[in-house]
Structure 1
């Protein structure tokens, strides 16, 4: 018995010595062909055996939301300015309701390689936040080759860094941008400056046709944009502009009409210290209200007049955010977003969104590495084209598992 114990002790000491020399650790981190199973530059990935130098990773999160809406806003899954009932509408003064859902849950696949020192990436992500039920929808589907990006992802002028963490899915009400199919190029000018340019598909013309004239809104030209990003120490600043064309095709019995769409945007983020950070985002545009997330789907770009002319509306949006970490596990976020349209034609739908603001404040607890939970209070207001006004309040609780 004593001999067996001594033998086991000798094996343990030998294994420790092998680990110290790196022999066994090499076997754990590499396969028989010497391919590394772990990569510190692509954490969580693994090699696609038989595919050469190709690695992949699965990521995403499971999120469960529990909502109590005080004033009966029309969307039970996200708090949007345009869904707040205003005076004069049938649902103004509605009672509150509860809503439980897991639609924001998402999953992604990230595949990367390097060919002749050129990085190559394929990224796909989807969630269940479709307009119909819990159907799966594509969020991102793009390929990156060096500095080029091809496919659907955030637009060139979507600066997500200006957003604090908000529990509500409509976190970026006054954020300019969204997702589009595009061809984009980005390059570092120097250690502080990055330049990006894109050609993007303008899917939503955002043209209101109050007189039901013949024809359809249709893209004839792509949107083009440029941006500059300045990064130094704990500060990041964004500058960008875009130009596009809004077009109405009248068909054989109608009249064709076009008008320019122009945008300028400025934003930034500052990490004050380890516990505090602030951010902001400001946009001004002509014929581009639909590029502001709060106005998506409200035909906020232009109005087609009785004479068949397109009248572009001016738009402005502003967003401020603040994040505070109470300690390693507790944090709070605050944001306020405001946007409005100007030069609105009299023929526009009287109950169409004209201006609105939404504020969010939350408390988030992360007791475990991959699990977090939190609660958020939000308050919003909407003013429509006929100056009707409405206010709404909502509380949202969530649980989230990131992987």
Structure 2
């Protein structure tokens, strides 16, 4: 069967087959547009410090405000995704993101940027929540979330490799222009997506929500995202603090992000063939090992390996966690809830990391804090994964 429908399905547009691979790619761009700044957060934080002269703590606060706004927007989506037409809402969100990103180029005040990026986050979070709900209605949830992480890591790697080199020359303009261009690309793809109405039935057995594994899955998402993002937001600053050259740091981070495509690639190819528990068990173990290796960042090879290892496992683990959360509701509300919790974790990480650095714990203390969070996340990840494997449900 072709991935493009043989007859126009809507308003004269040939739409991609709802569960086809092209649809997975376009849905991934749509979901990524609302949160692409997270994938280049290290470049943004570094750009705010080196381009505008802000402190590490102030730059972290701006990044945190952006993601806290996204968490609030994703929370709003939980209550709207079942009944509100998703396509017009996505158009409004994308146009809003483009306008806010272009306006951010001309702002130099940290206080004003916090408010503006908070508004950006709310808009983007609403878009992500809606996108996750639509993905939950597609026929290939695990694969689509794998493609989503593949897109984020691939283009994020390009961003962190290129953008830090442009900031000393052009200031923060390249950062916000990159975000606006990505939203424009997602907007161009939107007409070719199918309708994706809510499903009539739940995606789990026995007809009701199993609250314990759902809440554990959401907790795992929050802790995992907070621990990883708290470190990633300052990963460029960390490398420089350990004595590495700026050009090496940005190149290493970009290359590592591309290597990390292997993580979501595993999800795309393997899916649930072997169950989620074995993959998550191995992924969390490698995440802990890679994070601990950041203590050796004074050695360029160790810094590169640590970024590669944690990047690979981040993509794989998050794809599985988001797919797990989507199984609890046919309309996509639990998937939208996962988007909210994910953004809350992504925001809390840089915020807490900035405070740790301001308190004088240094980057070594930041690494240790991330390790503690990841160890806790491992525990609350594996229990619901084992239960869902036993259920053998198809999300």
TM range (shorter): under 0.3
* Greater C-alpha Rg: 1
TM-score by length of 2: 0.26
TM-score by length of 1: 0.25
Between Structure 1 and Structure 2, the one with more helix by share is 2
Between Structure 1 and Structure 2, the one with more strand by share is 1
Q: Which has the higher contact order (CA 8 A, sep 6+)?
A: 2
